[in-house]
Amino acid sequence: MEGTPVNFALNNICFFYEKCYNIHQMHQTHKHLHLAGLLILFLHLAVFAGVRGDVAQNAAVVSEKNAPSMQLLGAVAKAEKTPDTPLFRQAKRLQKRVRNLTHVTPSLSVLAKAITERKELFTKTLSGALVADGHTVTPWMITLHRYPTWIEPKFSMGSASFRIDEDRIRSHLETNGIDGLTAPTSATILSTFEDDRKVQRAETDEVAKAGYTFDAEAFASAIKESFDANATEISLAVTRTAGTIVNATGLDLGELTLLAEGRSNFAGSVPGRIANVRKGLKERVNNVLVPAGETFSFNSTLGAVTSRNGWFEALGIFNGDQLIPVTGGGICQVATTVYRAILNAGLPLGKRKAHSLYVLYYEKYGVGLDATVYPGQQDLTFVNDTGNPILIQSHFDGFEAYVTMYGTPDGRAVSLEGPYFAANAPEDLRTNSERTIKKNEIAWKQHITAPDGTVQTHTLFSRYKSIPKSIVKKYTEQTVVTVPTEKTHTAAPDEVSMAR
């Protein structure tokens, strides 16, 4: 039998398949190669057995002679059997996708292990906090379910893995930012003009708004390290960054970088007051352009405060302590926000009065730093002494009011110290008349440092009918650092203010 064509063919077929199996062991060849080899083997057996008519005898001889090869065939068939479990069914689906994409097919057991590792990654959670100047701006829950593209899959003939990739995190953050974290925006000045009230204004495409920036590379590194260390919390520092102004007019308006910002909060206001505050910010103060050497007048930006012009009724303060509905009630919220920007910019203050009644709306961002206005009777003014134009922009975000001033910095630096009450005022805190601070007053010190190092200190007083005891207690229990003064300027209000 050894010399028959049947034996010759069978020996060669078994030799071929044995070689295929050895290649499989070395290189993890595709499963369908083994099945094809088996099919070829049995087809040849059937053909030769039909020709000779002695299938049984030939098969017996071949089986005895090629026992090692047939054992290999059995081992291969056994090796290809996989558990019918959800994990291995998932591995089969992944194997098919990997084969289609990369023409590489790791074994099912290798893929099953990698899938298990990926599931473990999806259980990881980082409770993050985005922090600026020691305060949490917004929480950030970081999970890989939320950011699955941060996981990098890797496949080769004999391996498969899923790993958190630092470059993927960085790329995602640079492209998409962080949910809940607002980036700064820019505004372009398209033209300038004088309105019907002789107020210089700029036409812009939008309002430049401050936002938060961060180091994507540092964030990516910290996040990966935290995940790798199985940490559960992470604190990441962000930086509050001003919006920017682009001058497309061709006019020389200077640098137009941020000089200062004023803020206030009008939460709790009645609907009419809310509408008036937002109207004042959006339509009246926004985009006022103050030329160098000129005086800004808040009232001149308003025009006629009438219902015909879109103003609503809300309570105003009259005769010191009377609350009366008046058209335009709430405009003082806008004036107060402008006043705080003036102080932070260190600009020479002209007209200003505080409210005669203490108003809770003005506590946030500067208790005691408020300004009342009433067209024809009380104004808020300042002089632009920077040597270049100043652009004023204003907007609201919910119940937060913002006024920003852009111009050309001249090197002055400004700091505010306070608030001071009668209970916590330093001995040197006096007005020009050398009287001590009264129980119904709140005082601040404004320090303006010139480029040559000289310091001017202005003491700012606000006098009210009375101050709530809870406010006095709240702020007198806090420690206030006193800075030596060289010069005192008083901006004291009258006893009676026509306020809104």
* Amino acid of residue 146: R
Residues 221-250, mean pLDDT to the nearest whole number: 97
Higher pLDDT, 497 or 462: 462
The mean-pLDDT minimum among 7-16, 99-108, 198-207, 382-391 falls in 7-16
Q: What is the mean pLDDT of the chain?
A: 83
pLDDT over 90 at 206, yes or no: yes
Q: Which amino acid is at 20?
A: C
pLDDT for the residue numbered 10: 46
Q: What per-residue confidence (pLDDT) applies to 326?
A: 81
CA distance 232 to 127: 6
Residue 327 is predicted with a pLDDT of 86
Q: Of the given ranges (110-124, 211-225, 303-317, 438-452), which has the lowest mean pLDDT?
A: 303-317
DSSP character string of 172-236: HHHHH--TT-PPP-EEEEEEEEE-TTS-EEEEESS----EEE--HHHHHHHHHHHHHTT-SEEEE
Least confident of 67-71, 113-117, 285-289: 67-71
Considering all CA atoms of the chain, what is the largest pairwise distance in Å, rounded to the nearest integer? 131
Q: How confident is the model at residue 84 (pLDDT cuts 50, 70, 90)?
A: confident
Question: At CA 64, angle to CA 63 and CA 67, rounded to 5?
Answer: 70
Query: What distance in Å separates the CA atoms of residue 200 and residue 391, rounded to the nearest whole number?
Result: 10
The pLDDT-based confidence of 102 (bands split at 50, 70, 90) is: confident
Assigned token pair, 2: 């050894």
**Which residues, 6+ apart, have CB-to-CB distance to 422 below 8 Å?**
436, 437, 438, 439, 441
255 neighbors 409 (Cβ within 8 angstroms)? yes
Category of 175 on φ-ψ map: left (φ > 0), alpha (ψ -120 to 50) or beta? alpha
The residue among 446, 440, 448, 445 whose CA lies nearest residue 493 is 440
Read off the pLDDT of each residue in 379-394 and give the average, rounded to a whole number: 98
- Which residues, in sequence order, are bridge partners of residue 162? 153
Domains, the chain, ordered by start: 1-81 (no CATH), 84-184+210-242 (3.10.20), 252-476 (no CATH)
User: DSSP character for 446?
Assistant: E
Q: What angle is formed at CA 71 by the lines to CA 66 and CA 77, rounded to 5 degrees?
A: 130
Q: What is the DSSP letter of 437?
A: P
> What is the residue type of 339?
Y
- With a CB cutoff of 8 Å and minimum separation 6, the contacts of 79 are none
pTM, whole model, 2 decimals?
0.74
Write the DSSP string, 111-123. Answer: HHHHHHHHHHHHT
Average pLDDT over residues 482-499: 33
Q: Which of 32-36, 147-151, 343-347, 387-391 has the weakest average pLDDT?
A: 32-36
Residue (of 458, 376, 467) closest to 417 by Cα position: 458
pLDDT higher than threshold 60 for residue 53:
no
pLDDT for 482: 40
Average pLDDT over residues 89-101: 89
Tokens of 136: 């949490």
| pLDDT at position 43 | 44
What local confidence, expressed as pLDDT, does residue 499 receive? 38
Give me the residue label for tokens 């930012």.
Answer: 177
pLDDT tens digit sequence for 240-263: 999 999 999 999 999 999 999 999
Average pLDDT over residues 186-204: 97
Percent of the chain topping pLDDT 90: 64
Range name among 127-131, 340-344, 428-432 with the lowest pLDDT average: 428-432
Task: Give 399-410 pLDDT, tens digit per residue.
Answer: 999 999 999 999
Report whether 355 contacts 367 (CB < 8 A): no
> Are residues 269 and 361 in contact, defined by beta-carbon separation less than 8 angstroms?
yes
What tokens appear for 7 in the block? 């034996």
* Spatial CB neighbours of 259, under 8 Å, sequence gap ≥ 6: 345, 386, 390, 405, 406, 407, 409
What does the alpha-carbon distance between residue 491 and residue 482 come to, in Å, rounded to a whole number?
20
Where residue 454 falls among pLDDT bands split at 50, 70, 90?
very high
- Is pLDDT above 80 for 66? no
Whole-angstrom Cα distance, residue 379 to residue 350? 9
| For range 469-495, the mean pLDDT | 56
pLDDT band at 323 (very low <50, low <70, confident <90, very high): confident
Q: Give mean pLDDT, residues 319-336.
A: 83
pLDDT at 165 over 50: yes
d(CA 433, CA 431): 5
* Listed range (18-27, 111-120, 243-252, 469-478) with the worst mean pLDDT: 18-27
Length of the chain: 500
CA dihedral 99, 100, 101, 107 (to 10 degrees): -10
| Alpha-carbon distances, residue 237 vs 128, 215, 223, 225, 240 (angstroms) | 11, 9, 12, 16, 10
Spatial separation of the C-alpha atoms in residues 492 and 500, rounded to whole Å? 18
Give the pLDDT confidence score for residue 279 in this predicted structure: 97
DSSP three-state, residue 1: coil
Q: Would you state the pLDDT for residue 432?
A: 54
Each residue's pLDDT tens digit, 265-307: 999 999 999 999 999 999 999 999 999 999 999 999 998 999 9
